[in-house]
């Protein structure tokens, strides 16, 4: 029997945040104060109708009460406690789960403290307490994750832009430029590199002028035009999402505005209904979809992760983007797979191996320590502004799904997805992975003695040899 989800601490936290008493909450819900007290102490279950009332009372999405929201916090804390700083305390998952269940606000505060510790270790030296907090990028990733990368109001806004602008998918650039001029009274100009060497896109609200760099290829020009149109047209919806997102800093709020405007841009260039149908019909062929919608590989991958409309869902994907140093700059998971938050990820993931075969798709049948299987693809994506003297870099992007959905992707042809005995055994990170027999282990596993024998060479330095 599945253990009931304990919501008492979460409800108590939301009530205190709103500044109301148990009696006041009881009156709003139409129950007795004693019943609210029992709920907050996990002695009474929360029924579905009552859960809806609670969401309305606290003005939060029902996903705020989802158990996977707590599980992500548990996983983040377990990763933090994997730091050698905590080795002597012998923390185990059950301790952390109880901590999150009973004191979620304190648990989030501990995660924030560890965020600050990691930043300080990496060279950040906040001058005062106001500078200590979670990284803005992590806060925005959490916001997107909590919404499962599905924002209906932004989809509606994008559809309105396409409809009102009478956008022709075969000539989006002209249509978006016309929309800027006629609907938003904004002039568009293309600038040479020497005119503004630092900005690919610059919008001046006072002059009502948008300037794009000549180095942007056509598909990127379309995206940047759609970004600005979305930023201005969907401003109320974007601001509402940010306002309810619990972001702690102005930097995080600005970064979220960029991410949400990018969401609108993707929805404008790849309208939901047609794109979802094309993705299924073409079996998620990224290159073919890119040609059809005149968008980049990364834009296609990101749009695929947003196909979450009830009744018209695509494959639930996870997505990750990394650089050659292993830094994760973008991540989202609709599959339940975990990404490292504080340190290096597992080097066996094919997204890292993609750097060894630039420009080619890498496929991987993989298995996490809990036995869950995934089918993943990865490929490098070049980053550069154009021109011989400009700096160029390479990133890799990975896209994956549950192994049971892998057959829906063209990349799985010729691969026996049922042969999990041939799957690559991956993990989140070395400190959290229980696979002590891994030949590429770079750090010892949490709470496991090293067991190093100077007379015996194991699979790796940190693999016990018995």
* Shared-domain flag, residues 175 and 245: yes
Number of structural domains found in the chain: 4
Q: What is the CATH number of the domain that holds 224?
A: 1.10.10.2910
Q: What is the CATH number of the domain that holds 372?
A: 3.30.450
* Shared-domain flag, residues 162 and 264: yes
Q: pLDDT, tens digit, for every residue of 253-300? A: 999 999 999 999 999 999 999 999 999 999 999 999 999 999 999 999
pLDDT band at 129 (very low <50, low <70, confident <90, very high): very low
Within a domain: 421 = yes
pLDDT at 361: 97
Max mean pLDDT among 62-71, 72-81, 99-108, 354-363 falls in: 354-363
Within a domain: 465 = no
Tokens encoding 341: 């938050």
pLDDT at 252: 94
* Shared-domain flag, residues 226 and 174: yes
pLDDT at 125: 43
pLDDT at 75: 75
pLDDT at 454: 77
Checking if the pLDDT of 451 tops 90, the result is no
* Shared-domain flag, residues 45 and 71: no
* Shared-domain flag, residues 188 and 210: yes
- The more confidently predicted of residues 151 and 121 is 151
Q: Of the residues 207, 235, 269, which one is the last residue of a structural domain?
A: 269
Tokens encoding 350: 């094919």
Q: What is the CATH number of the domain that holds 35?
A: 1.10.260.40
Within a domain: 453 = no
pLDDT at 126: 42
* Shared-domain flag, residues 73 and 53: no
- Residue 393 belongs to what H/E stretch? strand 392-402
Cα–Cα distance between 169 and 219 in angstroms, integer? 12
Q: Of the residues 392, 409, 425, which one is the last residue of a structural domain?
A: 425
Checking if the pLDDT of 463 tops 50, the result is yes
Q: Of the residues 206, 241, 269, which one is the last residue of a structural domain?
A: 269
pLDDT at 127: 39
Tokens encoding 39: 């709920």
Query: What mean pLDDT do residues 96-110 have?
Result: 76
* Shared-domain flag, residues 233 and 161: yes
Within a domain: 448 = no
Within a domain: 22 = yes
pLDDT band at 128 (very low <50, low <70, confident <90, very high): very low
Cα–Cα distance between 83 and 89 in angstroms, integer? 11
Beta strands in 303-346 (DSSP E): 317-323, 328-333
Name the residue range of residue 229's domain: 152-269
DSSP symbol at 200? S
- The more confidently predicted of residues 56 and 391 is 56
* Shared-domain flag, residues 90 and 156: no
pLDDT at 10: 72
pLDDT band at 224 (very low <50, low <70, confident <90, very high): very high
Within a domain: 299 = no
Checking if the pLDDT of 330 tops 50, the result is yes
**Residues in the chain, how many?**
466
Within a domain: 431 = no
Q: Rounded to the nearest 10 degrees, what angle do helices 48-58 and 22-29 cross at?
A: 120
* Shared-domain flag, residues 325 and 413: yes
* Shared-domain flag, residues 353 and 386: yes
* Shared-domain flag, residues 248 and 346: no
Q: What average pLDDT is seen over the chain?
A: 86
pLDDT at 61: 61
Within a domain: 308 = no
pLDDT band at 6 (very low <50, low <70, confident <90, very high): low
Residues 6+ positions from 171 with CB-CB distance below 8 Å: none
Checking if the pLDDT of 3 tops 70, the result is no
Checking if the pLDDT of 42 tops 80, the result is no
Checking if the pLDDT of 51 tops 50, the result is yes
Q: pLDDT, tens digit, for every residue of 390-440? A: 777 899 999 999 999 999 999 999 999 999 999 999 998 887 788 878 888
* Shared-domain flag, residues 96 and 13: no
Q: What is the DSSP string of 422-440?
A: GSEE--S-TTT---TT-TT
pLDDT at 133: 59
């Amino acid at each position: 029997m599945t253990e009931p989800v304990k919501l008492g601490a979460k409800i108590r936290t939301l009530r205190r945040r709103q500044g109301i008493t148990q009696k006041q909450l009881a009156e709003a819900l139409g129950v007795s104060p004693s019943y609210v007290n029992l709920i907050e102490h996990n002695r009474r279950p929360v029924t579905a109708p009552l859960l809806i009332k609670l969401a309305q009372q606290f003005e939060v999405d029902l996903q705020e009460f989802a158990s996977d929201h707590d599980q992500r916090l548990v996983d983040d804390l377990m990763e933090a406690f994997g730091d050698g700083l905590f080795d002597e305390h012998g923390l185990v998952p059950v301790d952390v789960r109880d901590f999150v269940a009973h004191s979620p606000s304190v648990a989030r505060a501990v995660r924030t403290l560890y965020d600050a510790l990691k930043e300080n270790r990496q060279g950040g030296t906040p001058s005062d307490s106001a500078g200590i907090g979670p990284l803005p990028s992590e806060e925005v990733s959490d916001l997107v994750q909590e919404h499962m990368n599905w924002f209906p109001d932004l989809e509606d806004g994008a559809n309105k832009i396409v409809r009102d602008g009478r956008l022709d998918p075969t000539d989006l650039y002209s249509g978006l430029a016309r929309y800027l001029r006629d609907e938003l009274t904004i002039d568009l100009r293309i600038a040479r590199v020497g005119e503004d060497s630092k900005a690919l896109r610059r919008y001046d609200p006072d002059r009502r002028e948008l300037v794009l760099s000549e180095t942007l290829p056509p598909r990127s020009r379309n995206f940047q035009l759609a970004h600005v149109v979305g930023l201005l047209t969907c401003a109320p919806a974007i601001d509402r999402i940010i306002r309810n997102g619990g972001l702690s800093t102005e930097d995080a709020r600005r970064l979220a505005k960029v991410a949400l405007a990018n969401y609108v841009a993707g929805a404008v260039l790849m309208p939901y209904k047609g794109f979802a149908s094309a993705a299924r019909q073409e079996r998620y062929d990224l290159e073919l979809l890119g040609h059809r919608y005149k968008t980049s590989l990364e834009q296609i991958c990101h749009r695929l992760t947003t196909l979450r409309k009830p009744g018209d869902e695509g494959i639930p994907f996870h997505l990750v983007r990394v650089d050659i140093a292993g830094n994760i700059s973008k991540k989202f998971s609709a599959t339940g797979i975990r990404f490292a938050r504080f340190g290096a990820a597992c080097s066996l993931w094919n997204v890292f191996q993609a750097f060894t075969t630039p420009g080619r798709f890498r496929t991987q049948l993989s298995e996490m320590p809990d036995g869950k299987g995934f089918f993943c693809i990865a490929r490098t994506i070049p980053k550069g502004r154009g021109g011989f003297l400009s700096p160029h870099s390479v990133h890799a992007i990975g896209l994956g799904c549950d192994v049971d959905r892998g057959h829906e992707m063209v990349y799985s042809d010729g691969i026996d997805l049922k042969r999990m005995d041939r799957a690559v055994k991956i993990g989140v990170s070395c400190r959290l992975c229980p696979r002590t027999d891994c030949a590429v282990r770079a750090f010892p596993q949490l709470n496991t003695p090293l067991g190093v024998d100077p007379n015996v060479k194991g699979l790796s330095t940190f693999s016990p040899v018995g």
